[in-house]
Structure 1
Amino acid sequence: MRFLALGLVALLLTACASALRWEGGSRDGQYEVRSGDTLYSIALRHDVDYRDLARWNGIGRNYLIKPGQKLRLSPPDGGAPATRTADSGRGSDDGGKTRGGDRSTTSRPSSQPPSRQEPERSVGDWQWPLKGEIVRGFELPSSKGLDIGAAEGARVRAAAGGRVVYSGSALKGYGELIIIKHNETYLSAYGYNRRRLAEEGDEVAAGEVIAEVGSGPAQKSMLHFEIRKAGKPVDPLRLLPADG
């Protein structure tokens, strides 16, 4: 019985460690866009900067993508610039949300493109998305952020001001997910939500309620929180205030 119990514990830990690993969608260094994807969500999925992903695929500053479109996930051979597609105009930065059915495959513009000279945020600009115990820390490659325990339904707040560039449940392993773009360098992601209260295109202030805590692996109530710098996950504890 002891060996059986140990085996079950090991299996559970393996399942938790792999909860945020991606399955399917990518083949031979390419990704086929699915309904509900945005350029930001695909970039988050593959740990790349959304600006690089756009440049490699000749996508303009509107960041529009279509279901069925195939995107390369690395630079073209020799680093040569990719040829722009017919949809790569210089429209609004709307996150490139895809839509299914007979409706348009592009989303309405929500704001003007941010300035390339936008400064990086300092540590003092960040705040905790909620108060709770850290049940799992930043441990690459298995954990790309923090799992923060909290009561189900607890309010999740934006860690810094910015614009919601993804609000949905299409990314396997994150549940109901919200991604906020803070500037040209930083994104933050909030997963395992029970309910999303912010929609794509919403401008949110630091501390504004954006979601409610739901269940993570093993049906434990928690929030999964990530900060990405130029597409790469960074330890949120290096940016969040020490006093919680």
Structure 2
Amino acid sequence: MTNNRISVAHLNAGTAPLSTDPARDVVPRAGYSFSGCCSLLVLCLLGAGCESTPHPAPVMDATVGAQPAGDQSGPSVEAGAQRPTAYIVQKGDTLYSIALNHGINRKELAEWNNIPESGAIHIGQQLSMSAPHAQAGPSLFSLSDSPPPSAPTATRDSGLPSEAKPLANTNKLKTEPRAFKLPYSEQAIAQLKGLTDMPRTVLAKVDPMIEKQTGTVIPPTEVIADPDRIEWIWPTKGKLLEGFSEATKGIDIAGKAGEPVTASAGGKVVYSGAGLRGYGKLIIIKHNNTYLSAYAHNNKLLVKEGQTVVKGQKIGEMGSTDTDLVKLHFEIRKNGKPVDPLKHLPGISG
């Protein structure tokens, strides 16, 4: 009875009675369940740790120079980069490729460098990469507002230092957008043809050492020979269309296309071309260090730069280039300033 009660009690308690057989009851059933739970708990913790480890970031290809296909483009000047002022033509270059690589309009590049419509360039040619500049001055035909430099004039030595006057600054330039043609100035002419040499004032020397009757000795002096002695003639025969004013800076003479245009005085041709805006085919003659004359709107130019001409020599043919009427626009400049030609020409033409 006793054993049966014990068995029933064990059953009611949910446990089995201890066996008297040592081989069967070495490890109690309850002890086995505890160790198994511990093992299971450890495995769960390890698994949770693995699950909480963050995934590594995906590897990105950061190769230098890689970029989306849509962003690829040919060589060009970067935004904000300083564009070179000049470029030397290399083998394989074309006007279009140079303009494209430097972000310049092809037509503007051609205008800046006086390149023909064919776009012909050659290896080693230097191209200007920006619009040419011109000195600020009154319109196109201003042979600079300041007189050209001349040789220093000799004066009587008074023992006092002479006051030196600074030369006018001829380096201040004004941009003319989208145009190659330049205002008419000595600087503009020099840009177009490389003219740099200027004639020097001629000095005449007085007889040395003149002794007055009083016995006073006068030192030798030097005087400037008069450079203004020019006998002008009319450059063509025709009716006077318009007189001189600050706006015209010269006179307009009517005529027919092809009529001769002659040099109003002898001198050297310092410009012959059509690169100065508003004057068409233009000829400029330098007569001395004081005077020059200009002949505009010609239909044909018969003289070249550097050529010496004499008074009355045919230098061109009348036309209407850069104007709407056949005429000759004639100007006389004294020390770079326009003067009224009618005050220098002999009477009325025609």
TM-score bin, normalised by smaller chain: 0.5 to 0.7
1:122 equivalent in structure 2? 229
Pick closer, same or farther for the CA change 1:42–1:132 going to 2, 3 Å.
closer
Q: Contact 1:43–1:231 at 8 Å: present in 2 too?
A: no
Residue 270 of structure 2 is aligned to residue 165 of structure 1: yes
Q: 1:72 aligns with which of 158, 167, 172?
A: 172
TM-score of the superposed pair, with normalisation by structure 2: 0.42
Q: For residue 237 of structure 1, give the secondary structure of its aligned residue in structure 2.
A: helix
- Distance between the aligned counterparts of 2:321 and 2:243, measured in 1? 14
Q: Residues 2-27 of structure 1: CA distance to partner in whole angstroms, max 9, x if unpaired?
A: xxxxxxxxxxxxxxxxxxxxxxxxxx
Pick closer, same or farther for the CA change 1:45–1:213 going to 2, 3 Å.
same
Partner AA of 1:127 in structure 2: I
Q: Contact 2:146–2:168 at 8 Å: present in 1 too?
A: no
- Distance between the aligned counterparts of 1:236 and 1:72, measured in 2? 30
TM-score of the superposed pair, with normalisation by structure 1: 0.58
TM-superposed CA distance for 1:199, in Å, is 0.9
Q: 2:241 aligns with which of 126, 132, 135?
A: 135
2:66 equivalent in structure 1? none
2:12 equivalent in structure 1? none
2:192 equivalent in structure 1? 98
Unpaired segments of 5 or more residues in structure 2?
Answer: 1-130, 151-166, 174-188, 203-224
1:198 equivalent in structure 2? 303
Pick closer, same or farther for the CA change 1:42–1:144 going to 2, 3 Å.
closer
Q: Which has the larger radius of gyration?
A: 2
1:51 equivalent in structure 2? 149
Greater relative CO (CA pairs within 8 A, separation 6+): 1
Count residues in correspondence.
Answer: 164
Q: Contact 1:152–1:212 at 8 Å: present in 2 too?
A: yes
- Distance between the aligned counterparts of 1:146 and 1:210, measured in 2? 18
Q: Residues 181-210 of structure 1: CA distance to partner in whole angstroms, max 9, x if unpaired?
A: 000000101001111111110100000011
Q: Contact 2:279–2:296 at 8 Å: present in 1 too?
A: yes
Q: Contact 2:236–2:261 at 8 Å: present in 1 too?
A: yes
- Distance between the aligned counterparts of 1:45 and 1:200, measured in 2? 16
Q: Residues 95-127 of structure 1: CA distance to partner in whole angstroms, max 9, x if unpaired?
A: 63536xxxxxx47x9xx753312632336x100
1:146 equivalent in structure 2? 251
TM-superposed CA distance for 1:219, in Å, is 2.0
Pick closer, same or farther for the CA change 1:139–1:113 going to 2, 3 Å.
closer
2:282 equivalent in structure 1? 177
1:225 equivalent in structure 2? 330
Q: Residues 30-60 of structure 1: CA distance to partner in whole angstroms, max 9, x if unpaired?
A: x9547xx9xxx977265443439xx4358xx
Q: Percentage identity across aligned positions?
A: 43
Superposition RMSD in Å:
3.2
- Distance between the aligned counterparts of 1:218 and 1:115, measured in 2? 36
- Distance between the aligned counterparts of 2:324 and 2:297, measured in 1? 10
2:317 equivalent in structure 1? 212
Greater strand share, structure number: 1
Q: Contact 2:257–2:319 at 8 Å: present in 1 too?
A: yes
Unpaired segments of 5 or more residues in structure 1?
Answer: 1-30, 59-70, 74-94, 100-105
Q: Residues 158-191 of structure 1: CA distance to partner in whole angstroms, max 9, x if unpaired?
A: 0000001111111111111111100000010100
Q: Residues 40-99 of structure 1: CA distance to partner in whole angstroms, max 9, x if unpaired?
A: x977265443439xx4358xxxxxxxxxxxx227xxxxxxxxxxxxxxxxxxxxx63536
- Distance between the aligned counterparts of 1:184 and 1:177, measured in 2? 20
